[in-house]
Chain A
Amino acid sequence: MIENVNRTQELQDRIRAAASDRQMLSIIGGNSKAFYGNPVKQHNTAVIETRIHQGITSYEPSELVLTARAGTPLAEIEALLAENGQMLPFEPPHFAEHTTFGGAIAAGLSGSRRPFSGAVRDFVLGCRIINGKGEIMQFGGQVMKNVAGYDVSRLMAAAMGTLGLLLEVSVKVLPLPQTESTQVLACDRQQALKKMQQLNQGTLPVSAMLYENEKLYIRLSGAGSAVAAAEKTLAGETLIHADNFWQQINNQQHPFFQTDKPLWRLSLPFTAEPVIDEPHLVDWAGAQYWLHSERAADEIRAQAQQFHGHATLFRDPVNHYPGEERFSELQPGIKQLHLQLKMRFDPQGIFNYGRLYSWL
C-alpha cells in the first residue's frame, strides 16, 4: 500500500530558504542513480529528499493517465498498473529497490521497448514543479493533447533535476500487451544488425530487439494470434522466462553488466553499425550500444559523432575517467540556450549544480 504523504509545503519552504541563502541543493529520490551524471559539486551542498513526498493522486485506467507525487516508489506504481492490465510503456530501469517515479522522469532513461513505444518524454503529459525561486508551477495536464504554452513538462524529462524539483507528474499509460513472446536467433553481429533493420521496416509486432553474445533476441507483443503468426515467421527458439531476461537487461543485472569496467552508452541511428572490438550489447533495435571500454573518451565520442549520434559515460566505478563530462558536449549555441534556460528556472543555480554538465 502506498502511503499518501504531501510534503509540498515543507519542500517549498526548504527551497525558498535555500534560494535566499544561496544554499546548493542535491535532489535525491531513491538514490538509485547516484552514479549517473556528473557528481554534484559538493561545496556548500545540502541534500533535499523527495522520497517522503509520495502517493498516487489520480489514476483512471480508462483515461490511460496516472498522476503521482515524485517520491512514489516506481515499483508500487507499476504494481498498481499491472493490477489494471496496464504499464509504463517506457520501461524505466530499477537500479535499486527504492527507485522513485520522480527519479525515473528526471533521469529520462527508457528500456528496450523505447524504439517501438517511445521514451519517458513521450509519455509525460504534465507536471508540478518548484522552481529555483521556490515558486510552485504547473504545466501540461492530464490530457493527451495539449498545446497551450511551451512544453515545459517534457523539458523536465532527462533534465536531471537541474531546472526544478518535480512535485508531481502525469503520464500516459498503455494496456499491457495481451501476449508476449521472445524469439532467439543464433547469429553474428552483422547478421543481427541486418535482421533488425529488416524487421524495423516491416510490420511484425516487435516490441524489442537486442543483440548480445552471438544471439539476437526479438520480443513480440500483441494479440495472441498476431504473436503466434510472427513466431512462425521468425522461426527462432522461444526464450523461457523472457520477462526475467528483459528485466535483467533494463535493470543492468544481466551478466554483461557485471564488471568494474567503465560502461559507455552510445545512442546512434538504427543503421550506424560502428566498428567495436570491445565487449558490447546492442539494444533499441540497433540504436543503442552498451560498451565496456577504457579507450580515450574523445575517441569514443568521435565514433558516435561520426554517425550523428552521441556517447554517454554511463558508469565509471573505478574512476577511470577523472573529471570527464558524462554527457557529450553541446554545440556552442545550444550550450548558450542551456545556460539561459537554467538561469530562468533556477536563477541562483541551487539545483543539482554540475550534475548534467559541469558548467550548468
Chain B
Amino acid sequence: MTTATKHDRQQLYQQLKQLLPAEAVLETEEQTRPYESDGLTAYQQRPWLVLLPETIEQVQAILILCNHEGVPVVARGAGTGLSGGALPLANGVLLSLAKFNRIRHIDPANRSAVVEPGVRNLAISEAAAEYNLYYAPDPSSQIACTIGGNVAENAGGVHCLKYGLTVHNILELKIITIDGQVLTIGSQALDAPGYDLLALMTGSEGMLGVIVEITVRLLPKPPLARVILAAFDNIEKAGNAVAAIIAEGIIPAGLEMMDRLAIKAAEDYAHAGYPLDAEAILLCELDGTSEEVEDQIKQVQQLLKDKGATSLRTSENEADRLKIWQGRKAAFPAVGRISPDYYCMDGTIPRHQLAMVLKKISELSQEYGLAVANVFHAGDGNLHPLILYDANNPGELDQTEEFGGKILELCVKAGGTITGEHGVGREKIDQMCVQFASPELQLFHDIKHSFDPSELLNPGKAVPTLHRCAELGGMHVHDGLLSHPGLERF
C-alpha cells in the first residue's frame, strides 16, 4: 500500500476542488470524523478526504483523477453496514453517494423502479405503495440503509426465504469503473446476453465499480399477512418445527427464531407480549391471498402443536401483526440496552445443524465468559449470535473478536458460511482463509483485477491476500491438512 504524505493530500485536495463544488469536498477533522466508521463501530479510521458528488460526471471525474494519481477510493452509502465494508482508508478518499437520493422513475406496469444508490431501502417501498407495489428485501436497517449499499452487500432481511435477496430483486445497474467508464449491467428485460455480471456485482462490496443507478423489481403487496408466535421449552424442538413446516410444502414469508436471552431483551424493550418462560420462540408469517393464508395458518398451527409448542398466538389484525414483529425487529437495539456493547455475527448453516451449532456456541460462551443472545433467520439458516461485551474492559473486544471468529469457523465446519448477509468487509477477512482455499482466493483477486487492475476500489476488504492467509495458516489446520499448502510460510 502506498504511504500517504501531507504533500500528496494537499495536492489531491486542490485538484478535487477544481472538479467539485466547494461544499462537496470535506477535509477538516470535524467534517471527516463522522465518516470514520460504518455500522461496525469497533473499527475506526478517519479518511483523507470525504467527497459528496451529486452527478455521474462528477463521480467519473473523481475516479479518473484517483486512478491517475493512484489514490484508493472507498464508496459509502448510509454507513449502516456491519462488517466494516465502508471503513475508510487513511490514505484514500471516502466517496459518499448520499446525494444520489432521487427515485427517478416508477414503472408500475413493468413492476420496476429506477433509483439512485443513495435512496433509502424503505423509501422505495413507500414510493411504490401508491401502486400497491413494494420492494421485497428488508434488512433490519431498512429505515436508514441505502439501496446502493444493499446491492454492494447483497443485503437480505426477514423475508428472504420466499422473496429472495437483493440479487433476486434487481434488474439493471449503471456502474462507473475505476477508469471512469459508465457501464450498464443487466437489462430492463428479465435477462441480459453474456455473463451474469449482475450477479458478480451484487455483493461485491465496492471492490469492482461504483454503482450510480439501480433498476429494482417491485412486487405486488400480498393482500393478507398473518404471523404466528409459537413458544417452545427447548430450542431443538423449535428447530424441528421449522423443518416440519418446510417439509409440509409451505414457504412462509418470514420464519424467525429467538433464544431465551434475545426474547427477554426484546420483551423488556418492545413489550410485544413475548413469553418470558420460553427457551425459544418462532415467528412464522404467512402471506398471500386471504384463502391461502387462512388455509396455511390452520396447517401451521396444527404442525406447531404437534411439534411441542407450549403456546401459540396468531395475529388477528395488522396492528397485532406489527406488534408481534416489533420485538424481533428491535432485537438488536434491545440487546444493546442490556449490555454496554454487543458484537453481531452473521453465519449461515444448514438448518439441521442448528442444535449442534447452538450447543457449541453455548460452550464457547462459557469458555470466554461472554453471554450470547441468538437471533436466527430460521427459514434460511442465517444465524445472528450477538456477543455481549464491554469495550471499556481492557482486552474484552479482542476476546469478543476471537470468540466471534470461532463461531464463524464453526459455521464453516457445519457446512455453512462465514457471512449470510452482512458481507466480509474488514471484519471477516481472516475467516475467508478458512472458507476458501488458495485457488479460489486467487480467482477472486483475478476477478477484481478484471475490473480494477490497480486495486484502488476499497482495497484490503472482502478478499484476503494469500500471504495473509499463509501467516494465519497455523490457526486453521483442518483434518491435519494446511489450508493453503502451496504457499511459502515465514
Interface residues of A (CB under 8 A from B): 60-65, 85-86, 108, 114-115, 118-119, 121-122, 131, 135-139, 141-152, 154-155, 157-159, 163, 174-176, 178, 197, 200-205, 222-226, 228-230, 267-271, 284, 287-288, 307-310, 312, 327-328, 330-331, 333-334, 337-338, 340-341, 344-345, 356-357
Given contacts A62-B243, A178-B249, are A331 and B184 in contact (CB under 8 A)? yes
Question: Could you list 21 examples of A-B contacts with CB < 8 Å?
Answer: A115-B190, A141-B415, A144-B160, A144-B380, A145-B417, A147-B423, A149-B440, A154-B196, A155-B196, A155-B199, A155-B200, A163-B195, A175-B251, A201-B131, A226-B295, A287-B190, A308-B189, A310-B189, A310-B192, A333-B181, A337-B197
Docked pose: A295 CA to B192 CA in angstroms:
22
CB distance from B65 to the nearest CB of A (A): 19
CB distance from B110 to the nearest CB of A (A): 5
Known contacts A149-B462, A345-B443; 19 additional CB pairs below 8 A are: A119-B190, A121-B196, A145-B348, A148-B417, A148-B419, A150-B200, A150-B204, A154-B196, A201-B133, A222-B289, A223-B292, A226-B289, A287-B190, A307-B188, A334-B197, A341-B195, A341-B450, A344-B443, A344-B446
CB distance from A121 to the nearest CB of B (A): 5
Given contacts A310-B187, A334-B183, are A148 and B288 in contact (CB under 8 A)? no
- B380-A145 in contact (CB<8A): yes
Docked pose: A155 CA to B444 CA in angstroms:
13
The 5 lowest CB-CB distance pairs between A and B, nearest first, are A175-B249, A154-B199, A340-B450, A145-B420, A225-B291
B203 within 8 A of A: yes
- B199-A121 in contact (CB<8A): yes
Docked pose: A61 CA to B444 CA in angstroms:
32
CB distance from B50 to the nearest CB of A (A): 26
B439 within 8 A of A: yes
- B132-A201 in contact (CB<8A): yes
Q: Which of A143, A154, A155 has the most CB of B within 10 A?
A: A143
CB distance from A102 to the nearest CB of B (A): 17
Write out the residue numbers on chain B whose beta carbons fall within 8 Å of the beta carbon of A151: 154, 167, 199-200, 202-203
Across the interface, B110 reaches (CB within 8 A) one of A62, A271, A330, A357, namely: A271
Chain A's closest residue to B181 (CB) is A333
Write out the residue numbers on chain B whose beta carbons fall within 8 Å of the beta carbon of A64: 246
B416 within 8 A of A: yes
B469 within 8 A of A: no
Docked pose: A151 CA to B116 CA in angstroms:
23
B47 within 8 A of A: no
Write out the residue numbers on chain B whose beta carbons fall within 8 Å of the beta carbon of A224: 295
Write out the residue numbers on chain B whose beta carbons fall within 8 Å of the beta carbon of A310: 187, 189, 192-193
Chain B's closest residue to A154 (CB) is B199
B326 within 8 A of A: no
- B288-A226 in contact (CB<8A): yes
Interface residues of B (CB under 8 A from A): 107-112, 131-133, 153-154, 156, 160-161, 164-165, 167-168, 177, 181, 183-185, 187-197, 199-200, 202-204, 220-223, 243-244, 246-247, 249-251, 288-289, 291-292, 294-296, 348-352, 377, 380-382, 415-424, 428, 432, 435-437, 439-440, 443-444, 446-447, 449-451, 462-463
Docked pose: A176 CA to B350 CA in angstroms:
21
Chain B's closest residue to A328 (CB) is B193
CB distance from A175 to the nearest CB of B (A): 3
Across the interface, A271 reaches (CB within 8 A) one of B107, B200, B296, namely: B107
Chain A's closest residue to B382 (CB) is A145
- B417-A143 in contact (CB<8A): yes
- A270-B450 in contact (CB<8A): no
CB distance from A311 to the nearest CB of B (A): 9
CB distance from A356 to the nearest CB of B (A): 7
Chain B's closest residue to A230 (CB) is B289
CB distance from A47 to the nearest CB of B (A): 24
Write out the residue numbers on chain A whose beta carbons fall within 8 Å of the beta carbon of B195: 155, 158-159, 163, 337-338, 341
Across the interface, A63 reaches (CB within 8 A) one of B199, B351, B432, namely: B351
Write out the residue numbers on chain A whose beta carbons fall within 8 Å of the beta carbon of B444: 149-150
- A203-B220 in contact (CB<8A): yes
Write out the residue numbers on chain B whose beta carbons fall within 8 Å of the beta carbon of A143: 348-350, 380-382, 415-417, 420
- A141-B110 in contact (CB<8A): no
- B223-A203 in contact (CB<8A): yes
Write out the residue numbers on chain B whose beta carbons fall within 8 Å of the beta carbon of A230: 289
Given contacts A145-B348, A344-B449, are A205 and B203 in contact (CB under 8 A)? no
Write out the residue numbers on chain B whose beta carbons fall within 8 Å of the beta carbon of A178: 249
- B348-A205 in contact (CB<8A): no
Docked pose: A344 CA to B192 CA in angstroms:
22
Docked pose: A287 CA to B167 CA in angstroms:
19
Write out the residue numbers on chain A whose beta carbons fall within 8 Å of the beta carbon of B416: 141, 143, 146
